Amino acid sequence: MKKAFVTGGAGFIGSQLAEELLKEDYEVHIIDNLSSGYRKYIPDGALFHHLDICSASAKDIIIKEKPDVLFHLAAQADVSRSIKNPQHDAEVNIIGTINMLEACREAGGCKLIFSSTSAVYGNLDKNRISIEDPALPISYYGLSKLAAENYIRIYHELYQLPTTILRYGNVYGPRQTPKGEGGVVAVFLNKLKNRQPLTLHGNGKQTRDFIYVRDVVSANLAAVRNGNGQTLHVSTGKPTSIQEVAGILAELHPEEAELIYTNSRPGDIEHSCLNNEQTIRVLGWQPEMNMKAGLKAAYRSMQNESF
C-alpha cells in the first residue's frame, strides 16, 4: 500500500486532499498542530499526529514511516499576521519547510509536493502572470513562501529529492474558515451568515484568480504522477474582481446584502491572475469548477458550518 503524509491535513485544503488519498487506497498520515485546523475535518481512516511541523517529533515520524509522498500544506498563511509578526511567519514557513525537507531526505527520498502561493509575485503589473515572471513579494508571507521554494529547489538539485512546487491562485470552497488562512470568499460568506455588510477594501476592482478547492486537490494528485522538479501554477487563468464575487454571493443570499467600501490594506495585491497552460500540459490536469457553481457550493457549506 502506498503511504502519504499531509501536513496541515486538518485544514481547509489538506483535509479534502486526505479524503481523496484515502479513496485512492493510500495509507494517510496527517501532521497538524490544530492552530488553524479542526479535528472534525480529519477523515475517518487517516492516522493523526498532533505535532508541529517545526518539531523533531514531526521529522522523526516521517523518517520512521518512510512515506512515498509528503504533501506540505501546513503554513502561516495570513498576510496581515505576517506583517505584524514576520519572525513567527518565517519560523513556520521557512524553518518548518526545512524540517520537512530533511525528513524526506532522511526517509530515503520521499517525494515532497509543496503548496505555495501567487503572493510570491507581489504586485506585478501584468494581466496574466507566467512562471518565468520575477517573484517580488510585498508581504512577509509571500517572502517566506518564496524562501521555502528556494530551499526546495536546492534540495532537489543537491540531493535529487523528488519535488513539485504548486503555486496556488486564491483557493476557496467548503471548509475554508473566515479567519487566519481565510480568503475573501470565506470572509464574505461569514458576514452574510451573520447578517453583516460585505466590506470591500479599496474600490473592489482588485482581481484574483479564484480556484475551487477540489481542483487544487486534483492538481496535487496529478503532481504525484507527473510532477518532477517543476514549479507550476494551480489556477483557472481567469481574473475575477472582488466586486464580482460580492455580487454573485449577494444574488445567492435570500436577504439584501449591503456593500461597504473602505481603505486598502498594506501588503494587499491589486491584480493576480496566473497562466496555467504549463500545468495543464505537464500534469495533464484541468480546473473543472466554474466560479458561480463553486461559490454556490461554498455558500451552501458555510450555511451549515460553525466555528
**Residue 265: strand, helix, or coil:** coil
Instruction: Pull the grid cell for residue 236.
Output: 483557472
> For the chain, what is the total number of helices (H) and then of strands (E)?
11, 13
The candidate with the shortest Cα–Cα distance to 149, out of 58, 69, 62, 231, is: 231
Distance (Å) of CA 182 to CA 23, 188, 258, 259 = 27, 10, 21, 19
Residue 72 and residue 116 in contact, taking contact as beta carbons nearer than 8 Å? no
Distance CA 15, CA 22 (A): 11
Write out the catalytic residue numbers.
141
CA distance 51 to 55: 7
All 3 cell numbers of residue 113? 509536493
β-pair partners for 234: 168
